[in-house]
Each structure stands twice: as C-alpha cells, then as structure tokens.
Amino acid sequence: MTKRAVITGIGMMTPLAVGREKSWTELVQGKSGIRPFTLFGPSRLKTQFGGEVPDFEPTLWLDKPTVRRTDRYTQLAIAAADEAVADAGLKIEPDEAPRVGVLVGVALGGLASLEHHHSLLLDKGPDRMNPFMVPMMLANTAPGMLAIRYGARGPNFTLTSACASGAHAIGESLELIRRGVSDVVVTGGVESVLTELCVSGFCAMRALSTRNDDPAGASRPFALGRDGFVISEGAGIVVLEELEHARARGARIYAEVAGYGSSADAHHITAPHPEGEGVVLAIERALASAGVTAAEVEHVNAHATSTPAGDEGEARALRRVFGERTGDVLVTAPKSMIGHTLGAAGGIETAILALTLHHSLIPPTINCEEQDPSCELNLVKGAAREGKVELALKNSFGFGGTNASLVLRRFDGRRGV
C-alpha cells in the first residue's frame, strides 16, 4: 500500500506578517503586503516597491554572531522552520534522525550576500572578505543549517527550479515518504533577493509592475491592465509526515499532500507556453499521482503572477483540464496580496492551501475589479469564501519552462489508511 503524507506543522514569513497566524488573518481579510522598498534605496529603478517581510528581527531566532554569518534568506528559512517544527510538536530523537529529511526550494539563494561582498571587494579589496561569504551565498545553506539545528540526518538538499522551487521541494518530499526513505521531511521554499541588482535585472526584462503610485494595487492576477509581477521575499515551510507516524504521536493534521506532478514546457527560457501545454501535463500527472480525476477538484490555488502571458496561459490550461466544469472550480491567487516570492512561492502558497482546507475558508483574490476575458475562471474575489473543500490543486511554474502541481486533500481522520 502506498504510504500517505500529511502536513502536521506550518511556518510562514510573508510580506503580510511574521508568522503563520497573522499572515493567515491578513490574507483572509484581503490585505496587501506590498509597499515601497526599505531594504535598499530604489530611486534609480523603474520599480520601487515590493513585498518585504515586515519587522523581521533575526536575533529572535539566532545569536548576533550567527546573524552576521548568514544571509537573510537563511534567516527567514530558520524562522519559518522553527515555527513549523514547534507547530507540529516534532521532537527528533537520535534513533529517528536518519529518517528525518530537510528539502528546501530556493531560486537564487544568497544573492544579497554575493552582491554585498562583490561591492566590498571592489571598494576595499580581497582582504576584507568575510570568511563565511561562500556559505552565506550557497543555495543549500538553509537546509544544511536546519538539519544541524534539529539533528535531522536524512536526505538534505536544495531544489532550485526558479519559481517552482518550493512546490518541487514539497513534491519530492512526498516521494521520499512514499518510497519509505523518510518518515518526516521539513520542506518548503524560501527567497530573499530584494536588492538593487536583482530588481534592476527583472526591470530590464520588463517583467515587473511599475505602478509606483499604487504599490498595494500593483499585483493584479487575471485582471485587465495587469502590467507585470511584484517581487517579494518570504518563507513557507511545512512539516510533511508519513500518516501512521503522525497518528502514532497524536499529531494534529492540517491536510494530506495526495499527489505531485512535474513537467517542462520545452518552449522558451522565460515565456510560458501560450496554450499551457506543460501546465496541463503537470496537473494531469499530479491527479494521477493522487489517484483522482479533474472532476473531483473543487479549488485551485493558482500560480497567477500578474503577468499578461503567464496568467492567460495558466487560465487556458485550467480550462483544458476542467472543461465544462471550469466555472464550478473556485480559483484564488495569493500573489495579489503577497506578490511573487520566487522560490518561496510554492512553499508559502502550499501552506496557505493547507490552511484553506483546514479552516474551510478560501482567501480572496484582490485587485481584480475587471477580470480579463481571456482569463475566464471562477475567481474568489472581494471577500474570503467559506465552505469545505475536499480536494484542491496548487500550481507553481518557473523560468526555464518548469512546472509543478500538487494535489491536497482535506483531512478529517475518517478516511481509511
């Protein structure tokens, strides 16, 4: 019998708030976390706003020497993971440690540290380099530090697949549990690259919204007049646990991760396939992995970046998957409130979907007063929607044409093992 995997702990650092509970409260109230940049001076840039984690103080989790030798992305990962592990009530005993893994998705890693040290090199020379520069910028430092922190000796690595990284990490963690390699995996996604270098690069691509006069209204998935995504930072970490292991220790269960599918567009290095070919394939594989059909899906937590081509391609893919049922499937786009957290998106948004199923409450999509007719979907707009959802889909896509889809199932403890 295939092993099942459930979410028993959730941690979130988002542009809305530090922590799971306040982030969730702000989400369901339709608040925006998008504001002018404060982490750097953006005056030279066409885009001067984004989603920063507000009032994040790393010394609440780490001592000052450790803060000085870690990148902000690693600090956010530790904060979110600590919340998730505590939420799960997880205590890793030495004999269990080899069966506890840590898989974290990140797109760009310690880019801020790399940028800082490059400037230091140019200004003051090589003798002023921090000896921790290399681990600060490595993409696998976050899961490595989490493993050390918790004593987890199972599989430990970073998945990097651009903006699908967090969802791929959770999907591959599901596979570790199904294969019997791990009983528990601390997994999700993290990103913190709000620097002048990174933002100017996205500006050069004309990928970002330039609504500097209205930051809170700039991320507008599926809306007419959307003009690009809003870059953000954050972390979303979940404790994914084999069902019987969770039951044996009396863990509270948020939801089951029931299926996972991945694919490639094989189309363009940055542009999505216009007909969503790869997206359809990833969704179909996730449904097959879960042993369900599209007819059973009630809700989609969409990737929905607020880019003209991306939203249209995803909408077309969803219409192909659901056909005549498209109007019955409730869709929401969390990026309307938190922006695009890049490699963290799949982790944060899977956590949001697990809370959606657990609380029987779908957060709204904001800033979509006039929906693009080419993105004809049944969007939850204006206010959160109450009601039980039994089966839901999470999509994440990234540059390189990479796609990931997850199927989550509501867990009420009554289903068979």
Rounded Cα–Cα distance for residues 340 and 230 (Å): 6
Q: Please name the helix (run of DSSP H) or strand (run of DSSP E) that holds residue 411, with its range, or none.
A: none
What residues are labeled active site? 163, 303, 340
Asked whether the beta carbons of 344 and 189 are under 8 A apart, the reply is yes
CA 24, 27, 29, 32 torsion-angle sign: positive
Token pair 């019987």 in the structure block, residue: 244
Rounded Cα–Cα distance for residues 96 and 213 (Å): 53
Asked whether the beta carbons of 256 and 170 are under 8 A apart, the reply is no
Rounded Cα–Cα distance for residues 377 and 392 (Å): 15
Cα angle value 109/111/115 (rounded, 5°) = 165
Token pair 């007419």 in the structure block, residue: 224
Which tokens is 239 given? 């404790």
Beta bridge partners of 407: 259, 393
Distances from the Cα of 110 to the Cαs of 140, 165, 190, 234, in angstroms? 10, 15, 11, 13
